[in-house]
Amino acid sequence: MNTRQQNVTTWDVPLEMPVPRFDDRADRDREVAPEVSESTDTFFDTPELDLLRHGVTVRHTDDGGRWLAEFTSSTMGPTIDLDASDGDTTDVPTEIADLLWGLRLGKELRIVAIVHIRRTRHHHADRKDRPRLEVVDDLVSATVPGPVATATRWREVSVESLGQDGDRVADRLHRRLYGAGARPSTTTSRLTRALGHDTDDRRSSSRSRTAVESYISVQLGKICAGDIALRRGEEPIHDTRVAIRRLRSTLRTGTTIIDTERTEGIDEELKWFAGLLGEVRDRHVQGRRFREAVAALPDDLVLGPVAARIDKILIGEQSDHRRAVDEAMTSDRYRDLLTVLGTWCDTAPLAADTRVCTGDLRTIVRRAARKADKRLAEAIESGEPTDLHRARKAAKRARYAAELARPVLDKKHGKARVKRFKTIQTVLGDHQDATVAAESLRRLGAGAGVRDGENGFTYGILYQREIDAAQDARRRVAHL
């Protein structure tokens, strides 16, 4: 079986330029009569274009009468495609508007551009009528409403090679297009071109600064993706919390390169929201942990409906905390947090007058590692749960600092450093999980003693097992 990857190239073409012939005269009779169609896309966003900032577009297309919410990042989930042929075409459907509440910061969505496309689709086949080439010629007219409406027109030609010799024919057409005045398109989207935002005005920066900006951008993207997923009713809590931790770590360890005026107070707000998510996550993790623990006990040691009671209590608490998250996500406090993070999507909160260099990242990694090692030594000496927890958080920051710097520092040593602190984090995490689980079991067991037909016997066994697990983790910590 012969499989080929289709190759599509898009060109910016002068409005009046005719598309060159596909191939030589002998093949012209194989061109199928072109197909002509017209469609209009109406784009919606906030007046400040908050959705566009996050790579999200909302549009109504009269091609099939559909509403589309499209996400540049696949982590935000699948595109929403709603059949709205009989619905209102001026108000964004509630399903889409509610999903995008966080990214639009609760603002009203209104028309920001109307784009009309007149498409001429050319098909070309070889002498045996096998597909060879497809050329799509789009004449685009865009109107941007406002106090002073603006209108622009441009033309795009895309060439897609098909079949065994399609690439050869396409290459010939590309050369003819270039010779006639066409140039490879740099358009990111028709919306950005209509709005006049289709230029890359980012200043050049050092490789190290680019690495930091990219790291921050990835975390912001995951936080926004988490917002969308939570509103879909999904459970992206773990990934969202990890992204928040990585972002907070960068703000705390990178104080020498961070614009502290732009980040003032944000660490506490990120901690607040992560804490709300953590309450939900803890109940989910503990429920699974306790179910497995009960299932592993001999039947004669399970007195009463232990598993069912634990599930009922923890699921109830998890639901309460999830409602608290949902309420927070429509609050002014959360909207203010997203407003600041949105500005970081445009420009990372790095000091404008600082040229981030390799030495800066090396210093960040070294200081974070030194602090983590110091706190680990103190925790091993004292054995106190609070010291072990502090050591765990320091190990996380050291690991994230190493991740941040890996693109520009020695990758081999960077990978080893990440692995080392991840190991420390894991062992200390086992201790923390067992400690928290023991406290939860003590609380659950105390309640069982006052309910008919139940007692705290099995809870006591599970409690002791968690205490043993915590002690085992402390022993392993001593060998790190």
Domain spans of the chain? 7-195, 207-477
Quick: pLDDT tens for 165-196: 677 778 888 888 888 899 998 877 899 999 98
pLDDT confidence bin for 369, thresholds 50/70/90: very high
- Helix and strand numbers (H, E) in the chain are 14, 9
Question: What average pLDDT does the segment 312-326 reach?
Answer: 96
> What is the percent of the chain where pLDDT is above 90?
69
Concatenated DSSP letters of 95-143: HHHHHTTTTTTTPPPEEEEEEEEEEEEEEEE-TT--EEEEEEEEEEEEE
| CATH code matching the domain that covers 207-477, chosen among 3.30.479.10, 1.40.20.10, 3.40.50.300, 3.30.160.270 | 1.40.20.10
Query: Over the stretch 85-133, which tens digit does the pLDDT of each residue have?
Result: 666 678 999 999 999 999 999 999 999 999 999 999 988 877 777 777 8
Three-state SS annotation for 185-231: CCCCCHHHHHHCCCCCCCCCCCHHHHHHHHHHHHHHHHHHHHHHHHH
- Give whole-number Cα distances, 255 to 155, 164, 241, 249, in Å: 48, 57, 21, 10
pLDDT of residue 173: 84
Torsion over CA of 247, 249, 251 and 252, rounded to 10 degrees? 160
Q: Is 203 exposed, middle or buried (0-12, 13-18, 19+ CB in 10 A)?
A: exposed
pLDDT > 50? residue 244: yes
**Tens of pLDDT, residues 426-445:** 999 999 999 999 999 999 99
Mean per-residue pLDDT for 200-211? 73
Strands 183-184 and 7-12: antiparallel
Which residues lie closer than 8 Å to 428 by C-beta, 6 or more apart? 379, 388, 389, 391, 392, 395, 473, 477
* Cα separation, 358 vs 343, whole angstroms: 26
**pLDDT at res. 133:** 82
pLDDT at 28 over 80: no
Instruction: For 182-191, give one letter per residue: b (16+ CB within 10 A) or e.
Output: beebeeebbb
Residues 308-324 as b/e (b if ≥16 CB within 10 A, e otherwise) read ebbeebbeebbeebbee
Asked if 373 and 222 touch (Cβ cutoff 8 Å), the reply is: no
> Span 33-60, mean pLDDT?
94
